[in-house]
Amino acid sequence: MPRFYLPDTVAPDTLITLPDASAHHAARVLRLSIGDAVTLFNGRGGEWACSIHRIGKREVEVRVGAWQGVERETPLRVTLDSRSGARGLPERVRSRARNARTRESRQPAAAVVDNPDAAA
């Protein structure tokens, strides 16, 4: 079932117009039609079961159903770093990666032993 982010809190049994990007995605990309089930969430926990009520030229209106107390968001704090390549990394990280590669290349290949006691 498609999920759409809505920054506002909504009340059950109301009509909500989806934000422009979500409306475009629902109507033009997913090609949803009237009566199709969708889910709205606001990132603060829980979600609302909804159905598509009306599809206009540039807007999609959904009827909000019951709130469900399910948690789909991660409890972890996530930070995205958009820097790319080695130039975006701090020197400390680059030097550690360089040292790790150097250590690996200097060490001889070790034999793989399934039973460590049998190797003795």
- Here the CATH number for the domain that contains residue 13 is 2.40.240.20
**Quick check: 111 pLDDT over 50?**
no
44/65 Cα distance (integer angstroms): 18
Check residues 72 and 100 and name the one with the higher pLDDT. 72
Q: DSSP letters of 30-77?
A: S---TT-EEEEE-SSS-EEEEEEEEE-SS-EEEEEEEEE----S-SS-
* Mean pLDDT for the chain overall: 80
| Residue 120 within any structural domain of the chain | no
**Quick check: 107 pLDDT over 70?**
no
**Quick check: 35 pLDDT over 90?**
yes
For residue 59, the enclosing domain spans 3-68
What's the total number of domains in the chain? 1
Please report the pLDDT score of residue 2 as a whole number: 92
Least confident of 5-14, 81-90, 92-101: 81-90
Contact between 50 and 65 under an 8 Å Cβ cutoff? The reply is yes
| Residue 101 within any structural domain of the chain | no
| Residue 91 within any structural domain of the chain | no
| Residue 29 within any structural domain of the chain | yes
| Residue 60 within any structural domain of the chain | yes
